[in-house]
Structure 1
């Protein structure tokens, strides 16, 4: 049956959000600030670390965060050094290594997870630390992809595999594809050091979400560039393609965001439902929603291809 509703799904559980949770990071130059959003009730709750895109912050992606938390997931959001809230410029000596700091920030969140969860009274005893996932949008997808097993190809070949065994699943929104000649000359010169991923060892189960109208100014290919991670990762389980979707995928980064070029409540509603269903399925929760989604005709909003 085709999807016809454009209304955003309602939440089933009240939730609470706490920020900032500050993690000391003397080697980083600025302490790491984190937001935690969690269901107000429930036990055995899975945990998702959500990585923002370039210039974002822990305060972004409310359309995703609200729905996930309202449907039984604890969401942890670090603010990376490229955030506009911190004001770093290219003159800062850390700037060239922000992509490395991003990965280290997510690792720090996982290392200090007890401290992070303790910021919400009573939450720590209601979570399942063995049911952890990561998710990210755009540069955030590249960031968490490395904890799923993706590697960066340098001058001497692929770099180290940083896959974290604590992470059991991932959702990658608008994840950039292969580098090399698939990058524009500008991107090769300025971002080639980290925008050249190798997906062959990304073995952790992932859901890839891409828009079929997402044309990057950094890539020489069309929207199919954002599906590379699905086609070349052993862990790829499913690809959700959003019809007409551009880089913000209908507006997942904020309610009524002025920089959304393809605003679509219907796309956002489908993304929220699909991502939550996938996470609950892979993390060992309820698999019914994911099975139901696979049986639906999602046209005209999108298409779900499951391996």
Structure 2
């Protein structure tokens, strides 16, 4: 069976059972604790592309960890991707001392986690016997929600100035060739709320002008995020508007920060719970990455056509 036909065994209409392995522990010298992650993969198929999935923050104790985002991780894995979810140092599950360097959000460490995983894929494969020899390391994407979207944007080429030492930080990883930013933070400067500018100064200098890697930006048109921005819901579209290169923007109608509930099943903190909206995010993100990593594949166009076909579309897509 050819590589192309093998991975398409996970098309949207034909999901396969998923294997989930975790916690897998990757030694991480110099990190506050070793790096724990979950790996989800289709039970069948080879030549499997990889998605690194970065969690957000939030009120729940476990969604911001390797145990969150099951609606996305399972959907993607059942349709041909290997999904790797690290527990970043910002996770409430770790309860690190607030004096730990990088606290509370560990913006730099988060991106470094992903690079560390890519550096350690041999160890990941060796630790998951059912995965050995099944990865296609030439096809790697990153996805992230909320603060995870910030992490993903840095890996895709966004930059910032470190408020501690004034250096311009570039954490882009050329092994990552596509991304999905879900309710990600936008520009800094006067777009930030006073509390964000004071307490999260790394947001002040966010610069998308170097974020050239292709990406899908997903934003809710009711996601005001007033604790972070005074710019309103349009702030979450900034990674699309302000970055160069090939980008697409999916604007979800009536969606708030949870985008219908992508961080977990039946999550109490979801303010806009909608199984239909979650399903749209699942299908469209999968289709985008499928086509971006396999040029010529029709999944992305088909998903856009399906979104626009209904009498009451859940959102709209624009591209540049």
TM interval, short-chain normalised: over 0.9
Q: 8 Å contact 1:277–1:287 — kept in the other structure?
A: no
What is the distance in 1 between the residues matched to 2:200 and 2:102?
15
What is the distance in 2 between the residues matched to 1:83 and 1:154?
21
**1:230-285 CA-partner distances (Å, limit 9, x unpaired):** 01111342111111100010000000011110000111001000000011101116
Residue from 85, 89, 92 that aligns with 1:77: 85
Q: 8 Å contact 2:179–2:214 — kept in the other structure?
A: yes
* Structure 1 position 197 matched with structure 2 position 245: no
TM-score (norm 1): 0.92
Q: 8 Å contact 2:197–2:203 — kept in the other structure?
A: no
What secondary structure sits across from 2:90 in the alignment? Answer: coil
What is the distance in 2 between the residues matched to 1:286 and 1:78?
31
Cα 1:194–1:279, aligned 2, differ >3 Å: closer, same or farther?
Answer: same
Alignment of 1:242-261 (within 5 A): 242-261=252-271
The equivalent of 2:245 in structure 1 is: 235
What secondary structure sits across from 1:104 in the alignment? Answer: helix
Q: 8 Å contact 1:38–1:69 — kept in the other structure?
A: yes
Give the deviation of 1:142 after TM superposition.
0.5
* Structure 1 position 108 matched with structure 2 position 116: yes
* Structure 1 position 135 matched with structure 2 position 143: yes
Alignment of 1:25-174 (within 5 A): 25-54=28-57, 56-95=64-103, 98-154=106-162, 159-174=168-183
- Ranges in structure 1 where 5+ consecutive residues have no aligned partner: 1-8
What is the distance in 1 between the residues matched to 2:67 and 2:14?
19
* Structure 1 position 279 matched with structure 2 position 306: no
Give the deviation of 1:204 after TM superposition.
0.6
**Aligned residue pair count:** 299
Give the deviation of 1:94 after TM superposition.
4.2
What is the distance in 2 between the residues matched to 1:120 and 1:97?
29
**1:153-179 CA-partner distances (Å, limit 9, x unpaired):** 356977132221100100000011111
Higher deviation after alignment, 146-155 or 29-38: 146-155
What secondary structure sits across from 1:198 in the alignment? Answer: coil
Give the deviation of 1:96 after TM superposition.
5.3
Give the deviation of 1:69 after TM superposition.
0.4
What is the distance in 1 between the residues matched to 2:38 and 2:296?
26
What is the distance in 1 between the residues matched to 2:276 and 2:151?
27
The equivalent of 2:274 in structure 1 is: 264
* Structure 1 position 301 matched with structure 2 position 296: no
What is the distance in 2 between the residues matched to 1:260 and 1:97?
21
Q: 8 Å contact 1:280–1:286 — kept in the other structure?
A: no
Cα 1:300–1:158, aligned 2, differ >3 Å: closer, same or farther?
Answer: farther
Higher deviation after alignment, 92-101 or 126-135: 92-101
Alignment of 1:202-221 (within 5 A): 202-216=211-225, 217-221=227-231
What is the distance in 1 between the residues matched to 2:198 and 2:282?
35
What is the distance in 1 between the residues matched to 2:213 and 2:287?
17
**1:66-123 CA-partner distances (Å, limit 9, x unpaired):** 1000100100000011111101242334415711111111111111012113322141
Q: 8 Å contact 1:211–1:241 — kept in the other structure?
A: yes
TM-score (norm 2): 0.88
Cα 1:243–1:142, aligned 2, differ >3 Å: closer, same or farther?
Answer: same
The runs of at least 4 aligned residues of structure 1 exceeding 3 Å deviation read 91-94, 153-158
